[in-house]
Each structure stands twice: as structure tokens, then as C-alpha cells.
Structure 1
């Protein structure tokens, strides 16, 4: 058949065509089978297979006299040798794109559109792409994976998902001896971009006659039911959880809208904002476009046409119109898009062609014929990132990995997309986070097995990354150990050792440990608790702190120990209390009671009772102050008035032995059950009890004056003297004449007033003196006591003369005097507890003492003179 020719890239090879068949179509590789003869029985098949080859078929079209299928010879077989020596060979010619079926690969394509991905893929095969795209711009995807599939399967899958078809167009040879070539054309709307035959092709019914003029015959028209709704659902973890990704496309036929195809395709809504990795976001318009493409794909060839023809121009991707068909859908105004054809021819006969078409008014999209590869099981990968980084992550805690099957990745931040990491707990602002670090081996799973949607679900040790503890020696230990960044020299750790009888929970902080408890914290230690702080410890307690130690408590401080309290400090010990200081020798012990401040010397030792109280100020000054409370010393300035009259013991009033025994040469006042001085017999018990309650009152319940005033009993005594004098005046008024009576009464009143003033002044001077000088007050007390004894003897000399008037008052007067001395001694005893080194001028105190003696002597003389005057 001279109308069929077979040529090769090697011009020395010559074969005559005996028969052929061609199968081609939209989004298909053409497949050409040729039977050819040659007188060469030993034809070099190596020179044919895998090399360029072309098949040319003559036509009746003067503008294009032949049709060409150019590509390469994929198979060549010698099938027989005829008796005349003719060898018959069977050859298969395929397009250059067929070579993509011969490479299976794992490869990642990032930040690109479908066209950019397939262009990069075909560049490896030196295949150029001619684009005829009229639709909207294709979305850019962050991540696509060719996973264990051939280049051709990946190429077809991407185009099918995008609704893009491909076909082959004849390109004439440009030079002598060159093979005609074919170019690859990609189109998203082939009905609109198809090469259209201008002339109508006559319809000839079902004739089998072969005619040189163009015609179509044996036309078949069909209609099929297809789904009228196509719905896509998706999910995007980057978007708001409230965003419902759902897109639906509907056909115009109401009957078929009942038939719905729902597909869950999360990636259908996703697009990358920019080529520089601006982030992937869900796009509802993109999902809607995917639904429209899916509906068109489903309804492709719902109306189908098949026919026979002798027109070779009607290649897949070509549109034409027929003339004379009685059906309205196939009238001359209707255009048909050729989607597939088959051409066959035999020796000594004509060839014939059979084709399939669809109406151009029905949008054409390639069918889903290429399956999506599914990852069966978990993949292992290594976490990667920029050089010099230990952890590389984003705001969602995602990382990048290098898969072991990826031969193109550089083990850097571009090796994969951002991959989410499964965590034990993930809530809104709470949960757990453990980021795998660069170099860690992780276990990667894939949503629904989709290689484009990986997720890290675990981690695994390997020979290069061993567990924190040696195994199997430490097989009972469960650890959670980190590694400091950068350097990795330090670590934090929480571990548990489950060895029976030696169970251990271990917590280690490489640097700081912070613990926050907003309410209560309870800790129970069954045995011992040991805490070691290398430097400082600071505790701030908002309210109260209680420490209960059932045994002993020891605080050992090598440096200074300071305690400050704004309110007060209270210490209580059941038995022995000891506080010790080394060089400063501060010893406070109760065994029973001792306070020693040995620098420079404060010693307080209370065998029984010791009490000090000051409402506002309490001072004791002097180089030497000695106060001895034998038998009694009472000093009270609570209300600046004298206390009740206290009767002297019998030993002091009459020199008898009825008083208390002296200890150490000094009498000791009798004591009550509470340790306080017991009042002498015959005293005012109620007043004494009141005084005791006053002494025990808190500072809040009483106000203490700043100075020591005259005892209240002394003031009361003076008042009684006034009353006695008044009574004496009444008696004298009856014994003497009024003039003498008035004279005596005036003299007595003046004397009493003068003595009252002098006693008040004396009390103030005594108080001032005590405040200024406290060295020899105890000696003053002794001297004062001696003076009182002497004055008492002088007063006793007038006892008989004043027996009727002053018999009941004499003891009170002397008791008041002694009470004053007791008050001084008691006050000094309280002040003595301060134990300070008090200084004053000894000579001044001696001078004051001499003046006091002279004043008391003068007072005594005046009293005796007045008494003598009354007696006269």
C-alpha cells in the first residue's frame, strides 16, 4: 500500500507496510500497530526499538495530503519469514510522552500550579507543552507528591483533577530527512479551542461504499442518565473551625438532580497565596470551581455520537459539523467534538476509520481514570530545617521533614511542606506540645492515605539517636528528658523507675523551676525530706504560716540570723527553751528563766516572777542602780495618785518578829499564790485586789502617765489629816476661846497646805531624779528606810500626847511612808529588767540624799513642834 509509509530515525532501515491499526483519543496516548515486511531476515532490532519512528497515511485533502503519527518505536518483533525470503515484522509506534510510562518515581512538587508541575515533569523528557487554556487561572498548591507512580500516571492524574485534557497535533518536518513530529496540546475547554473543519461533511447513512469524497456514515446517537448534582466537602485546619467547606454544582435537568455524587476532597478548597510560600488557605470559590469541573466530568458524553468516516482530519480534539442528518441535534448547525477514533487498514484494501464524538454544547472534561496513589501504612522521615537551627517550626507547631524516598530533597527547610505534629492533647490555648527537633526520626501517616496530606503521629529511636538511658539495663525506667539548646549539654528530666522496693520519681531542672498554685497545695512525705539550696531562698507568705514539729527542731545558721515582726513575736516552749549566740553571747534560756546579753553585760534571771510594763515610756539610767525588794518595794504611777494605804508588817511597826524572815540579810515581802506581794494584815483587801487587776490590765485598757506621781494613799492620808485637824478644831473650839481657836486653825491649815505642796514637789523631784539618775537609787531606798525608822522613833515619842487624836492615824502615816519607799523599789525592780549599763553622777545623788535627809529631819521637827504646841 503506497498510501501508507513507515519511516525511522535511521534512514537505512526500510520496511513496507502490510497492515496497520491506530487508536487515539483525547487524554490518551495514541497506539499504532504496524505489520511490515523486509527482505532482511536479520534486521537489527536494536537500531529500531526506542528510536524515532513515524507512520504516514495519505489523504485526499490537498492542503494536508497525509496524516502523521510520530513518536518512537516501543516494540519490534520478527513474526515470520515467507518462502520468498520476505520477513514480516510487527512494530508498535507510540508518542514520546509514552516514555513517561517507563519511569516510576517518588518526587515532591511545591509552590506550583498544575501546569508548572507537569511542565517541570516533562522537561526531563524534552517534551514541550502547547497550552490552550481559556478558563480562570489555575490555583497554586503548596505541596504535591508523585508517590510511587509513573511520570505518566502523575501527569494524567494532575490534569484529570484540574479538568484539563491533552491531545497530539501534527507538526510538519522542517528539513530534508527529518521526521514529522507531533506536539502535546493541553486544553481546559477543548470544545472552544478545538481545530474546526470549515466544510460540512455529508452524511451518507449506513453505506459501506468507499468513495474518495469526504463523508460520514453509520452515525449512532445516544443519551445516558448521569448524576445531576456534584458536591464536594472539605476541611482546612488553618481556617476557622466554624467555616463549613461545602460546594455544590447542579445540572439543568431537574430529573437528574436527584442523583448526587458527594466527594470528600479536603485539598479541593486549598490554594497557596503566593509562590514565595505565602501560606495555604481555604477558598470557597476554588471549591465551587472544583464542583463544576466534577459535574462536567460526570456528565461528559451524556449525549454521545459515533460514526465512520474517510476524513483523516477528524483527529481527537477536532470539531466538525455534518450535513444531511435528519436528527436536529446533529444538524449542520450542531458541532461535534471528536474525542476518540480507530483507523485500520490491510494489504490491498482501503483503510477505514471509526470515531466517537460529543456535542460541543456539552462541556467536556477528562474522566477520572487515573487512581490516586494511597500510602499503605506509616512512613519514616527525618525532621529538617535551616542550617544552624535545632528546632524549626511555625505558629501551629508544624515541622518539615525529609522522606527517605525523596532523592531530590536537600535535607533543608524546602524538603517538604509544613507538617502537623500529633500531640497528646490539643485544645484552644491549652494542651501538650512536644516539637520534634531537627534530625529526629518521626513516623508520618497520611489522611485517607493521601500522600499530599501527611501528619506526624510518632517518633522512633534509631542507631544515631539512642534512648536517654541504656537498655536493657534500665528497662524499668520511664524517662522524659530534654536537651538544652544550643549545645545540648544540659537537660531537664522527669523520670520514673519502677524497680520494686526502690521506686523513684525523679525531677531535674537544668536552670530554673517555676511552680504556680492558685489555690491549695498539699504535700505528704512518709519518711524524710531533705532540701539543699546552694545560694539564697526567699519565701513570701500572704497571710499566716504554721509550722508544727512533733520532735525537735534545729536551725543552724553560719552567718547572721535576723527576725523582724511588725506586730509581735511570741515563743512558747513546754520545757527547756534555749537561744544561743556564739561570740556575741546572746543566751535566752528557760531552765528556769534566764536572759544574758554579754556585751556589755545584761543579765536577767527570774527564779519565779519578773514583769515589766510601760504604757508609754520606761527608763532606768545610771552607772549603778541597785533595787532589792526585801521585804517589799511597790512603785505605781498608773493614775498619778497614791495607792491604798498598806499596813507595815509587825516587825516594822513594833520591831517584833512577826514579819517575814529575812533572806540574805534583807526581809522578803510575803507572796500570794499568783506570785504578787500579799497585802499586810489589816489592810484594805478590796483596794489591793483592785490594784492587782489594774496591774494586770492591758496597755489598751489603761493609760500610763509619763512620770511617777505621789502615791494615791499619801494623798488620801493628807485628806484624812485635814479631817482630823477639822475634828480637832471642833474640840479645841470648846476648850479655848474663839480667837485662840482661829489662830491655831489658821496656823494648822497653812502648815498642812505648805506640807502638801512640799510633798508634791518632793514626789516630782524624786520622779525627775529617777528619770535622770538611776545609779544609786537602791542605796537611796536603804537610806530612806533608815531615815523613816528614825523618824518613826521620833514620832513614837509623841505617841502618848496624840494618842486620843492620832492613835488610829499614826500607823497609817508610817505605813504610807514605807509604802512610798516600796513603790520606789518596785518601780526600780521593773526598770532593772532592762539590764542596761546606766550612768549618772554619784556625787549629785549623794547631795540629793543629804538634802532629803535634812528636809525629812526638818519636817519631823516641825511635826514634833506642832504636836508640842497642841499639847500646850
Structure 2
């Protein structure tokens, strides 16, 4: 019995009669490129791969001269097989143009783009022009999205699945279009209800469904997703989505995940719903056999005439396996069978949502090496959180500038609430980047390394015993430094301040020096002591003052000298007292000028001079005043402290 079916296959630039189809089979599924293997014969045995591979081609199913279905695509595989008496035999694989994306692997970074925008960028780069978006939801921009060691196809499948976006194909006369959707309710509907006819034979020309199985499986009953963000570390971004339609199973099966949901309540809620729908995508399905060639993944249809009323409803096709045989295409095989087509269809209820299964993100083995970057002219570039930007050498597309990455947090040796350590890597530094829980989209700097350009502070291995902390003057020359020398016999702690050194001790400070202490001050030295000062010297104290020495005592001064007290003055001594001046000696007091003297002793008073005047002659001398340095004059005029760290000025009297 003739079925009226005919299969044809044509390739661009080749005559339509070049090939005849003897058989084909292949699968068409949501969110996956279709792949159809076609058995061909030709009168020509000199067809070369250059004539076919990567060329546009069309497989068409005809019935009674009318086109039932066609698949437009490109030839991804070409096999030259046996050559018989009348025909040469070939085999090809037909795939959509989007399958080309599987042939390009990339490492790249997308920033501040939504998933639909990223998908469109990749498709256009690979010259896939026939695509469309049929999306209901609005998709936020992703701050940072990385493709790492993934093919373009795997990458867009992964990020689309994360958002619950699936794709399918529509076929026109000369091209197919890949449609990206997020709502099964908006899919195209097959124009007629398909009858169920379990008794129908393979030669029945009428479109029908002849076999149906219902599959019901235990799947997670809920999904719980949680995330966090360092901008609000105490808050748990958590949402749980429940399935209420699966009465046949327990509700204790919860799928829990943490992380990678972009730390926002507005994002995590739809993510959770999408994740549960993906987990339950095959919980309740039907499998059917039909002869309806136009049934494609992403198409809705209505089933009728089934003996189970629950099956007579609308369904959404999620995958189709097509199979056709055309033995009479070869004249020598004309009597061995009829042309047949049938398919195996998997579908879900028309009111259910279908989401692709989430694909695992690529993982980085170990850490990545990167270079800190920033705008031209800057040496240090960070944000309010101390984050910096880096350039990854594996990034194929970005330049080494401040747009090369997102902001990366920097791991510190200690980090608390406004206490801890803070060392920011500077532009040009080589850093080691790890990934939070292995997530390629969540980089964090965990270390710095030297290289042939960024060398250590001291030559190695000459100074291998030296532990160093050296900074570098920003927009200038110089550095601050602290190092520890551990060479035996040369142990040292060295501190260097490029300009100022400030030490603030809120309580006590104690120093103990076993040997010598040397202090050199190149300019002024000032001390302010709010209370007492005690100085104890077991040996000799030498003080050399090249200028004036000014001592001001607001109260009494007491000196005790257990030996002699000798002072030699090259100039004048002036002593002024508002009250009495008392000189007392147990032995003698002497005053001598030249040959004249006065000597007071226990035996009397001796006065000797060339001339002695009583109540006549001469006059008293004025007391000389020392010159005051400018710093003291200024302090006296405006009352300002004459040292920078005046404890009295701070109120610490």
C-alpha cells in the first residue's frame, strides 16, 4: 500500500537531483541543536567533501506532492561509502547553524549585560543571523559573567538554563530560525487536533498517534536557594519554592543550593522557581509514536480520541526522534518495501512549564594569575571596599585597562570592623586570584607574587634572611620600610619613614636598651611632658649646646651635687631674684675680680682691693637676657604649642 511519502535532500550549489534519500533518523529536542543522520545515494561517485561539508542543505518530507516538513541546516559530517553498479552511497549529518557554536571555545568576560544580550552577541559573532527572542520576563544585567574553557554553544546553553530560557527551531523555505523562549504558553500550536488510533498500521496516510505511554517519576518537591553578599553579610538571601500538584509523592524532597544567584531578593525568587521547574521537567511526561512529521520540539498540539480522558488535552513537545525509510528510491530496490515515516515524541502537559537542566559551571583548577589594572595615570585604583580590577591573561577580548574585570575583593591577613590590616595591590602588581566556592563568576584576590619585572625589595638570595615590609611612595620617589634581619650575629629590626613617623601611645611606653642608644635629629627636637620626668644616669652626662640654652621653671628648682660644682662661663653671669638671694657655705664664700676679692669665712670677712668704695663710685650692671629662637617667640605671641604632639594641648594634663 503506497503511503504517498517522499524524502528529498538538496545541497546549495548542487543540482536537486544529485542525491536520493534512502533513510534518515535524528533527534530534535528543546535547548539542543537537532542532528539528523541521512543515508544518501547518487549516480555521481565523484562528489567531494568540498561540495557538501559546511554547506547549506535541506531535508524535506513530502506526502502526495505536498511538503509536510523540512529541516534547513548545514552539513556537519560527510561520509563517502561504497560504490555499487548504479549508485555511490553517502551519509551526511544535518545540523542547524547554531551548531557551529560548538566548534569555537573561548575564554572571555561579559560585563553589565543581560543574558539575552550576551546570547545575541555570541550568535552574531558566529554569523548566526536567524534568531529571535520570545521572552516574557525582563532580565537584569549581570555585573560579571565569564565564559571559561567552554564552547560558545555550551556557554549560551548554560547561562540560558540558569535563567530558565530554552530554545527551539522553526523552519521556513530557505532557513531555520532559533527561537529563545521562557514561557511554554506562548509556543506555536499545531493547527489540528491529532487523533489517537492504536490499531492504525504503518501505511495509514492520515496523521495520527498510534501509541502512548504515561511516565510519572519522583522528583524534588521543593527548591531552596540561598545566597549572600558582602555588602549585606548578615542577611540571608533565601527563597523556597514548592510544588503543589504532585499528590502522588511526599513533599519532603527539598533541593537546596547555596550561592551563584547574584545576592538579590529580586533575582533569587525567579531563580528558585526556574530551578524547581527544571528539576521537575520530566516528572510527568508522555511518550507517543506517530506519523506526524510536522511535530517538532517547541510545538503545542491537542490529542483526541484516547480512551483515557486525561490524555485528551493539549501537550507541549519537548523532544522528537524522527525516522524515515525510502528503499524504493533505488530502482534496484523498488520492490523491497514502502516509504515509511514515524517518530517518537516526548511531551509534557500543555499548562506546565519546561526548563532546561542546569549545566555545571566550569571550574578553575587552582588559582589564576592576573595583573592589577586601572586608568591611565593612576598608580592605585580601588573602590570604597578596597576592591581592585585585574586583567586575566586568559581573557581573549579585553585590553589591560580598568574595564578588564569586575571589582575584586582583596583577601587581607586580618579584617574586622574598622580594624585589621589593609594592603592594596597596586596597578601592575601580579596577583593570585581564587574563586569563591569554585565559582568562576566570583573571583577574589588571595595573594601577590613577584615576577621578573616586579622584583623583591632586596636582591635574592643575598638577603634571604631578611623579612621585609616595604611600601612605595605614591606619585613620587621613596618608600617606608620595616624589615627583620635574621642572620646570626647581625640580627636587626629596621624602620624607615620616608617623611614622618608618628607613634601614639594612649597609656604607658617602656623601652629597655641593653647596650648603646644613639639618636640624631637633623632639625628641632621638642618634648612636652604633662607631669613628672625622672632621669637616672649611672655614669657621666655630657651636654653640648652650640646655641642658647633656655630653661623655664614655673615652680621651684632644687639641685643636689654630692661633689664639686664647677661652671666656666666665657661671658657674663646674671642672677635676678624678686626676693632674697641666699648663699650659704659651711666653709668659705669667695668673690674675686682680678686682684680684688671678698672672702667670707667662719673667722670673718676679708676684703682686699686697690680701692674700696663704700656708698660711692660705680654702678650695678644689668642682667643680660638670652636671644629667643623664633619658635619660642611665636609660641609666646599666639599661645600655640611649640611641639606637634603637645599633651597639654590634647587635654592629657
Q: TM tier, shorter chain?
A: 0.7 to 0.9
Tell which deviates more after alignment, 41-50 or 434-443.
Answer: 41-50
Question: 5 Å matches for 1:592-607?
Answer: none
Cα distance in 2 between the residues matched to 1:60 and 1:25 = 28
Report the 3-state secondary structure (helix = DSSP H, G, I; strand = E; otherwise coil) of the residue aligned with 1:246: strand
* Contact 1:231–1:262 (8 Å) recurs in 2: yes
Larger Rg: 1
- Select 2:241's aligned residue among 246, 249, 253: 249
Contact 2:277 2:354 in 1 (8 A): yes
Counterpart secondary structure, 1:480: strand
Structure 2 residue corresponding to 1:225, chosen from 218, 227, 235:
218
Structure-2 separation of matches of 1:307 and 1:259:
29
- 1:305: which partner in 2? 286
| Alignment correspondent of 1:788 | none
The answer to whether structure 1 residue 142 and structure 2 residue 143 are counterparts is yes
Tell whether 2:13 aligns with 1:10: yes
Residue number in structure 1 paired with 2:625: none
Name 1:404's counterpart in structure 2.
393
Which secondary structure does the structure 1 equivalent of 2:273 belong to?
A: helix
Distance change (3 Å), C-alpha of 1:556 and 1:340: same
Q: State the match for 1:286 in structure 2.
A: 267
Deviation at residue 44 of structure 1 after TM alignment: 1.7
Name the SS of the counterpart of 1:91 in structure 2. Answer: strand
Q: How does 1:440-519 map to 2 (within 5 A)?
A: 440-487=429-476, 489-519=477-507
Asked if the contact 1:189/1:365 (under 8 Å) is kept, the reply is: no
Could you tell me which residue of structure 2 aligns to residue 367 of structure 1? Answer: 357
Partner of 2:547: 559
Supply the distance in 2 between the matched residues of 1:417 and 1:560 (Cα, whole angstroms): 63
Taking the TM superposition and a 5 Å limit, the aligned residue runs for 1:274-423 are 282-331=263-312, 334-346=313-325, 347-348=327-328, 349-368=339-358, 370-423=359-412
Evaluate the alpha carbon distance shift between residue 352 and residue 478 of structure 1 in structure 2; reply closer, same or farther with a 3 A threshold.
same
Partner residue, 1:430: 419
Q: 1:552 to 1:535 in 2, by over 3 A?
A: same
TM-score, structure 1 normalization = 0.65
CA gap of 1:486–1:78, structure 2 versus 1, over 3 A, is same
TM-score, normalising length: structure 2: 0.86
- By relative contact order (CA 8 Å, sep 6+), the higher-ranking structure is 2
In structure 2, what is the equivalent of residue 209 of structure 1? 202
Partner residue of 2:84 out of 77, 82, 85: 82
For residues 307-346 of structure 1, the C-alpha deviation after alignment (integer angstroms, 9 at most, x for no partner) is: 1122222111111111111223212xx2100111111112
- Contact kept in structure 2, 1:207 and 1:218, CA below 8 Å: no
Query: In structure 2, how many angstroms separate the alpha carbons of the residues matched to 1:499 and 1:139?
Result: 59
Which residue in the other structure is 1:95 paired with? 96
Cα displacement (A) at 1:537: 1.4
Residue 251 of structure 1: how far off its partner (Å): 1.1
After superposition, the Cα gap between the structure-2 partners of 1:628 and 1:70, relative to the gap in structure 1 and judged at 3 Å, is closer
Which shifted more, 147-156 or 245-254? 245-254
1:38 maps to 42
State the 1:606 CA deviation.
Answer: 6.3
Q: Say how many residue pairs are matched.
A: 589
1:868 is matched with which residue?
none
Alpha-carbon distance change, 17 to 533 in structure 1, aligned in 2, over 3 angstroms: same
Contact 1:627 1:777 in 2 (8 A): no
Query: Which consecutive aligned stretches of 4+ in structure 1 deviate over 4 angstroms post-superposition?
Result: 59-62, 603-607, 626-631, 661-666, 835-838
Deviations 1:240-285 (A, max 9, x none): x321121100111464321111111x231x2xxxxxxxxxxx3213
* Distance of 2:110 and 2:462 partners within structure 1: 46
| Distance in 2, Cα, partners of 1:93 & 1:242 | 53
Separation (CA, whole Å) in 2 of partners of 1:76 and 1:187: 32
**Once the 2 structures are TM-superposed, how far is the Cα of residue 605 of structure 1 from its aligned partner?**
8.2
The answer as to whether partners of 1:107 and 1:406 remain within 8 angstroms in 2 is: yes
Structure 1 residues 564-589: Cα deviation after superposition (integer angstroms, max 9, x where no partner): 1111222222212344444x244xxx
After TM superposition, give the deviation of residue 301 of structure 1 in Å: 2.5
Given that 2:5 and 2:340 are in contact with CA atoms closer than 8 Å, whether structure 1 keeps it comes out as: no
CA contact 1:59–1:67 (8 Å) conserved in 2 = no
Per-residue CA distance 1:590-626 (angstroms, 9 max, x = gap):
xxxxxx88xxxxx998653799xxxxxxxxxxxxxx9
Measure, in 1, the Cα distance between the counterparts of 2:122 and 2:607. 123
| Cα shift readout 1:691-745 (whole Å, capped 9, x = no counterpart) | xxxxxxxxxxxxxxxxxxxxxxxxxxxxxxxxxxxxxxxxxxxxxxxxxxxxxxx
Distance in 1 separating the partners of 2:343 and 2:601: 147
Q: How far does the alpha carbon of each residue in 1:80-100 deviate from its partner, in whole angstroms, 9 at most, with x for none?
A: 11133x210111111111111
Aligned-partner Cα distance in 2 for 1:236–1:184:
36
Distance (Å, rounded) in 2 between the aligned partners of 1:50 and 1:448 = 41
More strand by share: 2
Paired with 1:663 and 1:440, the residues of 2 have a C-alpha distance of 86
Shift of 1:231: 0.5
Give me the whole-angstrom Cα distance separating, in 2, the residues matched to 1:664 and 1:397.
85
The CA deviation string for residues 774-799 of structure 1, in whole angstroms up to 9 with x for no partner, is 972599xxxxxxxxxxxxxxxxxxxx
For 2:433 and 2:600, the matched residues in 1 are separated by 94
CA distance in 2, matches of 1:140, 1:405: 23
DSSP-derived class of the 1:371 partner: coil
User: Would you say the 8 A contact 1:628–1:778 is kept in 2?
Assistant: no
Cα distance in 1, alignment partners of residues 299 and 587 from structure 2? 125
Match of 1:776 in 2: 614
Tell me whether 1:546 sits opposite 2:534 in the alignment: yes
- For 2:94 and 2:241, the matched residues in 1 are separated by 41
Greater displacement, 372-381 / 199-208: 199-208
What pairs up with 1:607-756 in 2 under 5 angstroms?
608=586
Residue segments in structure 1 that go unaligned for 5+ positions in a row: 173-179, 271-281, 587-595, 598-602, 612-625, 632-660, 667-773, 780-834, 839-872
1:371 deviation in Å? 2.2
C-alpha separation in 1, matches of 2:112 and 2:35: 34
Q: Say which SS state the counterpart of residue 521 (structure 1) adopts.
A: coil
Residue equivalent to 2:260: 267
Structure 2 matches for 1:45-84, cutoff 5 A?
Answer: 45-59=49-63, 65-84=67-86
Match of 2:183 in 1: 189
Render the CA deviation track for 1:775-831: whole Å, top value 9, x for unaligned: 72599xxxxxxxxxxxxxxxxxxxxxxxxxxxxxxxxxxxxxxxxxxxxxxxxxxxx
1:23 correspondence with 2:27: yes
2:638 aligned partner: none
CA gap of 1:507–1:59, structure 2 versus 1, over 3 A, is farther
1:249–1:295: 8 Å Cα contact kept in structure 2?
yes
Q: Compute the displacement of 1:453 (Å).
A: 0.7
Mapped partners of 2:287, 2:599: distance in 1: 140
C-alpha spacing 1:545/1:329, structure 2 compared with 1 (3 Å): same
User: 1:59 touches 1:312 (CA, 8 Å); kept in 2?
Assistant: no
Q: What's the secondary structure of 1:112's corresponding residue?
A: coil
